[in-house]
Amino acid sequence: MSQNFNYREIITKAVCGKGRKFSEATHTISPSHRPSSILGCWIINHKYSAEKKGDTVVVQGSYDINCWFSYNKNTKTDVATQTVTYSDAIPLSMQDTNILSDEMDVIARAIQQPNTLEATISENGANVDVQVEREFLVECIGETKVAVACNPDGLLEDFPASDYSDDVSDEEYERLDPNFLHSEFDK
């Protein structure tokens, strides 16, 4: 049996770029009354979109910060709500240059939804400073070519099993690079 392989190029969509970024931000909330103490702070209504710009993906979004506080010497409570916006530029740490077009689909996932780390009364005593964290993973999906071997003599089941030995000698095993597929995303 001949093992004369022909190769075909298949055009497919694949992940052609990846990036990840952790961010912290501090937002200032202006309640309607001078706060005496902070009773709680939470974030809701997170919305975002992503767009590739050069070697980065820009994630733009917004969320509502709700701060429950007491005022009037801790005799009354209220909730201050403020919508804040943000823009995170996420560098692509992995990029494939073998793409067929600059048009790509961008997928952004919030690995860590925005959440409050700490809410404190500001130095002027009239505002609340809210420290927030968030983290995104972005992927760029583009068209690329993949070369595959084609057997003109038939199906794979026609190949003898001896052609596909899984045995690895001790010498070959010692030469393996354990970091070959390691990336910063495995951390």
Q: Give the pairing type, strands 35-53 and 94-95.
A: unpaired
Contact 139, 111 (CB under 8 A): no
CA 52 – CA 67 distance, rounded (Å): 34
Does the pLDDT value for residue 184 go beyond 70? no
Does the pLDDT value for residue 173 go beyond 50? yes
Does the pLDDT value for residue 170 go beyond 80? no
Q: What pLDDT is stored for residue 95 in this prediction? A: 82
Does the pLDDT value for residue 133 go beyond 50? yes
Does the pLDDT value for residue 93 go beyond 80? yes
At 1, the pLDDT band (50, 70, 90 cuts) reads: very low
Give the residue-averaged pLDDT of 123-131: 94
Select the more confidently predicted residue: 9 or 102.
9
Map out the domains of the chain as residue ranges.
6-151
Q: Give the pairing type, strands 128-150 and 105-121.
A: antiparallel
